[in-house]
Structure 1
Amino acid sequence: MTEVRSVVDRDDLLSRRIREHWTGLLGRRLDVLIAGCGRPDPLDLSQTQARVVGIDEDHPALRACTSARADLSSWALGDLRSVPVPPRAFDVVYVPFLLERIEHPELVLDRLLTGLRPGGLLLVRMRDRASAYATCERLMPAKLRRALWHRFAPPGAVGPLPAVYEQVASREGMHSFCLTRGLMVTEDVLAVSGPALRGPLGKLARAACSVVETLSRGRRPASHDEITMVIRKPQSHFARLI
């Protein structure tokens, strides 16, 4: 079932699921992989014992943010289709706002799933390709996006980053991916968090999204731009595991 929640509720949801998973490990250290660590988007692990490893693309803005993070035990930047991911090494894989900005996201997800232990959690946050916000972002020429970024983005926002938006960067695309990999989507939450909506010209950005929604006759909604999913890798050895 899809829900619409505030950003605060969504972050609390992820924290609760992580704490519950750690409790089930009976005191063992929680091993966490953040794929997309180049954004200042740390998980709340304050009530757990955890080791956090980060990976992301090698982009100047992402490198600067990653090197400044204090919550990572180690990190690596490069082509995510070839960055080493040890098999079954992580209890939680967190993917914040990565899928919409890379090519071949299915290949990257498959690599990440090899590193997730059976019964582990895959936590995904992404900009919804089908939303009005993402439609504006992916149809805007790259040069224009770069020129307007600092006018629209709030202070501290990392970017502008590529806006690729392949089909998996959507609710239907992720549900289809999970179905073919034997993964179970346990929660599916919608939210509004686009940088341009929170920046100094947020009213103008919201107006543009409303226009897109109207012109698309509701097929590109302005009511949300983010999807958060809690996904579980099955324990069963007979399920199709990556």
Structure 2
Amino acid sequence: MSDVRLTTAGGVFSQRIREQWNEQLGRRIDILAAGCGRGAPLELDQIDARVTGVDEDRPFLRAATVARPDLDSWSLGDMRSVPLMPRSYDVVCVEFLLERIPHAELVLDRMVNGLRPGGLLLIRMRDRKSAYGFLDRKVPFRKPLRRWLAPEDAAGPLPSIYEPVTSREGVHSYCMMRGLMIAEDHSLISGPARLGPHGGLVAGVCRTVSRLSGGRLAPDHDEIALVVRKPQHHFARLI
């Protein structure tokens, strides 16, 4: 595990996607962008890739999805039923989706099922076990607070559900049970309120919450980013 202090996961993910394409010896790679209404466009310069987006059907997410320049096609709806063909993708990139949807583990199962053997699962999510994640799901009046704390162009507010899988322990346990291999695990600071005009105040509140929790809630990050690989061999417990 590495401790990344800034929002660098996008660069890490882009590099891993490029490496995955190189391994295909020039074959086009198929990428699923899950959470396409909230995630950033992928950096795919000089990569032969087809990108499909999926997300919930909410007005803000639909507008953001339509505006993304990297998507070749997209589908919005209930994440338990949006079209996801088995073993159709070389890379599944999940950005800030799991913490805001119900049945997150079921949805994650569908995405892993959509990966080809040897494919990459790239996950970015708010950490349920961080002080920031605790505040995000517990603080009332999130909408007016967000207007004051977050940058003007920040998305949301979106639901804050944070099921058990949306923590470092939760996703590690999930990967172990599914036979998935975690290659990288990063801690980051990327929460809109942490990067907004009152980021120092928010950081202070997170430290206070961490102390009150006896250190159970981490104050030094709000996001976890993981690079996960689906094994090639057929003896692995694959979905």
Q: Is this a same-fold pair by TM over 0.5?
A: yes
Of 195-204 and 75-84, deviating more is 195-204
CA distance, structure 1, for counterparts of residue 186 and residue 149 of structure 2: 25
CA deviations over 1:112-156 (Å, ceiling 9, x no partner)? 111110000000001000001001111113xx0012121111122
CA distance, structure 2, for counterparts of residue 24 and residue 6 of structure 1: 30
CA deviations over 1:194-219 (Å, ceiling 9, x no partner)? 00011122222112111101111221
Counterpart for residue 173 of structure 1:
170
How do residues 104-115 of structure 1 correspond to structure 2 at under 5 angstroms? Answer: 104-115=103-114
Counterpart for residue 61 of structure 1:
60
How do residues 33-72 of structure 1 correspond to structure 2 at under 5 angstroms? Answer: 33-72=32-71
CA distance, structure 2, for counterparts of residue 158 and residue 76 of structure 1: 19
- Whether the 8 Å CA contact 1:40–1:69 is kept in 2: the answer is no
Unaligned runs of 5+ in 2: none
CA distance, structure 1, for counterparts of residue 233 and residue 122 of structure 2: 20
CA distance, structure 2, for counterparts of residue 240 and residue 8 of structure 1: 33
CA distance, structure 2, for counterparts of residue 114 and residue 3 of structure 1: 28
How many residues get paired? 239
SS for the counterpart of 2:224 is strand
CA distance, structure 1, for counterparts of residue 35 and residue 186 of structure 2: 19
Counterpart for residue 97 of structure 2:
98
Of 119-128 and 33-42, deviating more is 33-42
State yes or no: 1:224 paired with 2:225. Answer: no
CA distance, structure 1, for counterparts of residue 175 and residue 107 of structure 2: 14
Counterpart for residue 82 of structure 2:
83
- Whether the 8 Å CA contact 1:178–1:185 is kept in 2: the answer is yes
CA distance, structure 1, for counterparts of residue 100 and residue 229 of structure 2: 23
What stretches of structure 1 move > 2 A for 4+ residues in a row?
6-12
TM-score, with length taken from structure 1:
0.95
Counterpart for residue 204 of structure 2:
207
CA distance, structure 2, for counterparts of residue 6 and residue 151 of structure 1: 23
CA distance, structure 2, for counterparts of residue 40 and residue 238 of structure 1: 34
SS for the counterpart of 2:179 is coil
Of 93-102 and 199-208, deviating more is 199-208
Q: Which amino acid aligns with 2:71?
A: L
**Identity value in percent:** 58
CA deviations over 1:60-99 (Å, ceiling 9, x no partner)? 1111111111111011110000001011111000000111
- Residue 10 of structure 1 and its aligned partner are, at CA, apart by 2.8
What RMSD in Å do the two structures reach over aligned CA positions? 1.2
- Residue 5 of structure 1 and its aligned partner are, at CA, apart by 1.4
CA distance, structure 1, for counterparts of residue 149 and residue 63 of structure 2: 21
How do residues 106-185 of structure 1 correspond to structure 2 at under 5 angstroms? Answer: 106-141=105-140, 144-185=141-182
State yes or no: 1:31 paired with 2:30. Answer: yes
